[in-house]
Structure formats: C-alpha cells, structure tokens
Structure 1
Amino acid sequence: MERTRAWRRSQARKRGKTKAVHPLVFKPEKNWKLLYTRADKLIRARQLGMSYPIRSTRQLLDQE
C-alpha cells in the first residue's frame, strides 16, 4: 500500500491533532531584561525568594 500525502492527511483528520495536547499555559519571564516594569521585577523577585533591587553590603550598612 502506497502511503501518499492524501493518506497521511486523512489519518490526521481521523485521529485528531495530537500536537496541541496541552492548552497554552502562561509562563512568567525567565530573563530579567524582559521584565519591563519595576513592579513586575519586585513580584518576580518575591516569587523567587530573592531581594530586589540587589544591594551591595555597603548599601545595606548605610541604610541602617
């Protein structure tokens, strides 16, 4: 049996599309440069458990 393009297309229609199994789920940015606003960076830093903006030891001592 020769499997032509028409056969492959009919099989795809019969079985349905398997590529889109998972619906689109929002994924937050991984790159800090892509986070535009300061508020977004603060939220992401809180999620990651890190302090933002990143301050040096000298800045932390001057603050206290």
Structure 2
Amino acid sequence: MERTRAWRRHQARKRGNGKAANPLKFKPPKNWKLMYTRADKLARARQLGMSYPIRATRQLLDQV
C-alpha cells in the first residue's frame, strides 16, 4: 500500500492530532488592534456580549 500525502492527511484528520486535524477551525482575533474594520469589531463585541464603541459615562448621559 502506497502512503501518499492524501493518506497522511486523512489519518491526521481521523485521529484528531496536530494542525491537520481541523484546518478549517477559525478563531477570531482576541486583540482589538488586529481587527481592521468596524464591522469586525462590532461582530466580535456582540460575541463577547459587550457594547462597542466603549463610551464614557458622560457620553452616555449626554446621549439622552
């Protein structure tokens, strides 16, 4: 039996070890500086359950 690259990748996925186990798993950035667009920051804030943009108490009182 010839063990090709495809066979090795299949075995790695099947056993769940290393990076090849699930190459499509996406982890959002944890550092706000790494997120470029406002939409990305809003989506990440929604996932974390926090309000964005972060406003000072004075800004929140002036808004009313």
TM interval, shorter chain, is 0.5 to 0.7
Shift of 1:22: 1.8
Contiguous gaps of at least 5 residues in structure 2: 1-7
CA distance 1:40–1:19, shift in 2 (3 Å) = closer
Contiguous gaps of at least 5 residues in structure 1: 1-12
Identity between Structure 1 and Structure 2 (%): 70
Counterpart residue number, 1:58: 58
Q: Where does structure 1 differ by over 4 angstroms across 4 or more consecutive aligned residues?
A: none
Counterpart residue number, 1:43: 43
The residue matched to 1:28 in structure 2 has which SS? coil
Return the TM-score normalized by structure 1. Answer: 0.67
Aligned amino acid, residue 49 of structure 1: G
- Structure with a larger share of its residues in helix: 2
The structure with more radius of gyration: 1
Aligned amino acid, residue 56 of structure 2: S
Return the TM-score normalized by structure 2. Answer: 0.67
CA distance in 2, matches of 1:43, 1:20: 26
What's the Cα RMSD here?
A: 2.0
CA distance in 2, matches of 1:30, 1:62: 31
The count of corresponding residues between Structure 1 and Structure 2 is: 50
Once the two structures are superposed, the pairs formed by residues 1-40 of structure 1 within 5 Å of their partners are: 19-20=18-19, 22-24=21-23, 25-40=25-40
